């Protein structure tokens, strides 16, 4: 930890370094011996996170015996690495074989970095076998024996304390001095009995066993978790899809199951919720339009703008070079659905007013397009221009009177604003052309039906 910290301190653009060891505290994963947190300088004077991570890996690659992993701070609720695969099995041997097979598949696919798993580390532990009959003859309490061993190892928690500079409570433990905490002292440990202090070696035997580690279970099945980051330039969703397809084709050991957790699980839950909200919003809007226009066809024409807007959303993200995210992209599509129908509502409402005044269908359609062209275009253009600062990532600092491009605070909203602006512009252009055409198509169809029945064609 000290060696890695010294090398990090020699790097530029690092403001503070906070290191803490988890090995002595008995916290965190088994293979993690410590965590170093870096606070960087301001974003406009700092390199991208991908370059800093690569520099840290290169600068510590020659240190033998350790594996340095770099992880950026999560900007959302998801904790840990983005790819989280849980492998469960009823038999430990099958589970270990499945983990090795999955790691080989990930290595073959490529694009995965900082791969870790929760398998127990290899090692030897000392098993303590208590002869209960012999302990009863001495009058020794087995639970008291366990507390005595805890005093020799991790200690016994007696209370907790919360200092003023800590976020949570800290355990206060009592244990033997450091020079008395050794394997040799374990055999000389004495416990109180009815006959006085008796060495535990009289009724306890020590035997070396294979290290077990921490056994994790979900729904009563042993689970091993594989976590990994994704290489820069690759999408997490693409890597998960490729890994899932490879696992479906692979022949894992019998009785082995796998499931994706972490970011993939959160994304699936968000997608289900947003799809339900999107469908509910469309149904409510359709019912309201049907009641207002009293026409099923005109309600469908109004809702057709939502279909046009989806193409605009994809085009806007393509122009800005942003991937489609379930959360921000989905929220943008739901918000856009309520905006783009306004243009069709204005057009159809004007068309109905002109028709009620006795104007023919063709002339009413042409006048509707001419009268409502300017308000429809101005509404869409002003909305799109108002979103442009977020689309291109401009940040205005009123205190320093600076206009900055690419600030971290703007990156979160770029996808949402690009989806709304792109969908609105494309839907407006198509609406001004398609909606009048669909109204005339309806009139021509009615005219053909009337001619077929020998009735006079409507105006």
Q: What is the 3-state secondary structure (H, E, C) of the chain?
A: CHHHHHHHHCCCCEEEEEEEECCCCCCCCCCCCEEEEEEECCHHHCCCHHHHHHHHHHHCCCCCCCCCCCCCCCCCCCCCCCEEEEEEECCHHHHHHHHHHHHHHHHHHCCEEEEEECCCCCCEEEEEEECHHHHHHHCCCHHHHHHHHHHHCCCEEEEEECCCCCCCCEEEEECCCHHHCCHHHHHCCEEEECCEEEEHHHCEEEEEEECCCCCCEECCEEEEEEEEEECCCCCHHHHHHHHHHHHHHCCCCCCEEEEEEEHHHHHHHHHHHHHHHHHHHHHHHHHHHHHHHCCHHHHHHHHHHHHHHHHHHHHHHHHHCCCCCHHHHHHHHHHHHHHHHHHHHHHHHHHHHHHHCCCCHHHHHHHHHHHHHHHHHHHHHHHHHHHHHHHHCEEEECCCCEEEECCHHHHHHHHHHHHHHHHHHHHHHHHHHHHHHHHHHHHHHHHHHHHHCCCCCCC
pLDDT interval class at 26 (50, 70, 90): very low
Q: Whole-prediction pTM value? A: 0.63
Residue 433: pLDDT over 50: yes
- Judge whether residue 24 has pLDDT over 50: no
pLDDT value of residue 25:
42
Residue 27 has pLDDT above 50, yes or no: no
458 pLDDT higher than 60: no
Share of the chain above pLDDT 70, in %: 91
Q: pLDDT: is 22 or 137 the higher one?
A: 137
pLDDT for res 105 = 92
Q: What is the pLDDT of residues 102-151, one digit of tens each?
A: 999 999 988 888 888 888 777 777 788 888 888 888 788 878 778 888 88
CB atoms inside a 10 Å sphere around CB 363:
12
| Contact predicate 301/344, CB 8 Å | yes
**CA-to-CA distance for 394 and 406, rounded, in angstroms?**
6
The mean per-residue pLDDT over the stretch 46-71 comes to 82
Query: What CA–CA distance (Å, rounded) separates 187 from 376?
Result: 88
User: 263 vs 173, which has greater pLDDT?
Assistant: 173
pLDDT (mean) for 44-57: 79
Strand-strand pairing, 112-117 and 124-130: unpaired
Phi, psi of 260 (to 5 degrees): -95, 135
Distance, CA of 229 to CA of 102 (rounded, Å): 15
What is the rounded distance in angstroms from the CA atom of residue 12 to the CA atom of residue 81? 26
Whether 164 has a pLDDT exceeding 80, the answer reads no
Task: Tell me the residue length of the chain.
Answer: 459
* Residues 368/352, Cβ–Cβ less than 8 Å: no
- Which tens digits make up the pLDDT trace of 358-402? 888 888 888 888 888 888 889 888 988 888 888 887 777 777 777
Q: Which residues contact 81 (CB under 8 A, 6 or more apart)?
A: 71, 114, 116, 227, 228, 229, 262
Q: What is the Cα 189 distance to its own chain's centre?
A: 50
Phi-psi label, residue 54: left if phi above 0, alpha if psi -120 to 50, beta otherwise? alpha
Tens-place pLDDT, residues 391-402: 887 777 777 777
Q: Which band of pLDDT confidence, cut at 50, 70 and 90, is reported for residue 453? A: low
Could you tell me which residue, 448 or 142, shows the higher pLDDT? Answer: 142
Mean pLDDT of 293-322: 84
pLDDT at 297 over 80: yes
Does residue 457 carry a pLDDT above 50? no
Which pLDDT score, from 0 to 100, does residue 315 have? 84
Between these two residues, 30 and 249, which has the higher pLDDT value? 249
Can you name the residues that pair with 256 across neighbouring β-strands?
89
61/447 Cα distance (integer angstroms): 79
Rg (alpha carbons) of the chain, rounded to whole number = 34
- Close Cβ partners of 442 (under 8 Å, ≥ 6 residues apart): 297
Does residue 453 contact residue 443 with C-beta atoms inside 8 Å?
no
């Amino acid at each position: 930890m000290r060696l890695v910290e010294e090398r990090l301190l020699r790097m530029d653009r690092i403001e503070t370094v906070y290191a803490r060891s988890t090995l002595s505290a008995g916290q965190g994963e088994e293979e993690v011996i410590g965590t170093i947190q870096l606070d960087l300088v301001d974003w406009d004077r700092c390199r991208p996170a991908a370059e800093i991570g690569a520099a840290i890996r290169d600068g510590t690659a020659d240190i033998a015996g350790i594996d340095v992993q770099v992880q950026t701070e999560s900007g959302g609720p998801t904790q840990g690495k983005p790819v989280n695969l849980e492998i469960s099995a009823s038999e430990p041997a099958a589970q270990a074989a499945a983990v090795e097979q999955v790691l080989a598949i990930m290595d073959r696919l490529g694009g995965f970095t900082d791969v870790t798993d929760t398998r127990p580390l290899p090692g030897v532990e000392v098993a303590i076998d208590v002869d209960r009959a012999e302990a009863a003859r001495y009058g020794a309490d087995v639970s008291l024996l366990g507390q005595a061993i805890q005093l020799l190892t991790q200690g016994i928690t007696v209370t907790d304390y919360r200092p003023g500079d800590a976020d949570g409570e800290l355990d206060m433990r009592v244990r033997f001095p450091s020079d008395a905490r050794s394997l040799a002292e374990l055999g000389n440990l004495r416990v109180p009995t009815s006959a006085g202090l008796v060495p535990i070696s009289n009724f306890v035997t020590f035997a070396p066993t294979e290290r077990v580690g921490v056994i994790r279970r979900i729904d009563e099945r042993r689970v091993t978790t594989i976590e990994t980051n994704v290489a820069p330039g690759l999408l997490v969703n693409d890597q998960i899809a490729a890994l899932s397809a490879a696992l479906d084709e692979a022949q894992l050991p019998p009785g082995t199951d796998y499931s994706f957790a972490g970011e993939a699980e959160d994304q699936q839950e968000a997608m289900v919720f947003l799809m339900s909200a999107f469908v509910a919003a469309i149904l409510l809007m359709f019912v309201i339009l049907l009641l207002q226009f009293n026409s099923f066809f005109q309600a469908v024409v109004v809702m057709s703008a939502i279909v046009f807007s989806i193409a605009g959303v994809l085009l806007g993200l393509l122009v800005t070079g942003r991937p489609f995210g379930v959360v921000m992209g989905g929220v943008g599509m739901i918000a856009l659905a309520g905006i783009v129908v306004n243009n069709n509502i204005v057009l159809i409402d004007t068309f109905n007013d002109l028709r009620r005044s006795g104007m023919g269908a063709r002339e009413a359609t042409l006048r509707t397009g001419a009268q409502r062209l300017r308000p429809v275009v101005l509404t869409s253009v002003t909305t799109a221009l108002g979103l442009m600062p977020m689309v291109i990532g401009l940040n205005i600092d009123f205190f320093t009177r600076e206009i900055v491009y690419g600030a971290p605070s703007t990156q979160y909203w770029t996808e949402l604003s690009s989806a709304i602006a792109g969908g609105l512009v494309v839907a407006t252009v198509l609406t001004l052309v398609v909606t009048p055409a669909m109204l005339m198509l309806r009139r021509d169809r009615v005219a053909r039906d009337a001619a077929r029945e020998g009735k006079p064609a409507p105006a």
